[in-house]
Amino acid sequence: MVDGDGDAARSWRQIGSDVVLHEGWIRVSRRTYRLPDERIAQWDMFDGGQTVGVLALTPDGRLVMVRQFRPGPDRVVLNVPGGFVDAGETPVEAAARELTEETGFVSTDLAHVVTAMSASSTGQRHVVIARNCQPGGQMMLDEFEDCEPVVLDVTEVRSELRSGRMTGNELVYLGLDHAGLL
């Protein structure tokens, strides 16, 4: 782990409570900080809660992915299955649920491998690897989801990652790395 000797001296201190600027699909809050040199800074942050991305591997080592429209890039993109971790759920439970809901694939061999941070978000992004994924579940898409499950070779997914045409790149890379597939 790379920790600098002066990290504590460089840390910002929060002043007061967050102010909610927008409450919707994602919450946007403003947080006020006192910097080490005593200046005051305000920072707008996203809080989407906990989410999970599932690196889903079939018995023959292929990846179960989803193609769906994403409003940010304003187009259909490739990504790993995933979504919100519901209240009372662990990331592994959420991963199993999201995998089946979005693809119809199931797995009983799931492992949480990492939780990723984001620079301007208070939410946690979990990566779960699901092995031995096979069809056998019922897709149950949310009202605004339009997921098309696709099964791709690792080389195809890595090519899509390098092209910049995917979303959730950080989660995909972390999953591939933890699975030894980079």
User: Are residue 55 and residue 35 in the same domain, yes or no?
Assistant: no
Q: Model confidence over 113-139: pLDDT tens digits?
A: 999 988 889 899 999 999 999 999 999
pLDDT of residue 55: 98
**CATH value at residue 120:** 3.90.79.10
Number of domains in the chain: 2
pLDDT of residue 119: 87
User: Are residue 16 and residue 85 in the same domain, yes or no?
Assistant: no
User: Are residue 94 and residue 24 in the same domain, yes or no?
Assistant: no
User: Are residue 43 and residue 116 in the same domain, yes or no?
Assistant: no
User: Are residue 97 and residue 157 in the same domain, yes or no?
Assistant: yes
User: Are residue 17 and residue 88 in the same domain, yes or no?
Assistant: no
- Which amino acid type is present at position 81? P
Q: How far apart are CA 53 and CA 168, in angstroms?
A: 8
User: Are residue 76 and residue 158 in the same domain, yes or no?
Assistant: yes
Q: How far apart are CA 103 and CA 100, in angstroms?
A: 5
User: Are residue 100 and residue 61 in the same domain, yes or no?
Assistant: yes
Q: Which of 36, 10, 29, 17 is nearest to 122 (CA)?
A: 29
pLDDT of residue 170: 93
Q: Residue 86 belongs to what domain range?
A: 51-178
Q: Examine residue 1 and state whether it is found in any structural domain, yes or no.
A: no
**pTM to 2 decimal places:** 0.90
Q: Are the C-beta atoms of 160 and 136 separated by less than 8 Å?
A: no
User: Are residue 128 and residue 146 in the same domain, yes or no?
Assistant: yes
pLDDT of residue 5: 64
CB burial of residue 117 (10 Å; 0-12, 13-18, 19+): exposed
User: Are residue 57 and residue 141 in the same domain, yes or no?
Assistant: yes
Q: How far apart are CA 157 and CA 79, in angstroms?
A: 9
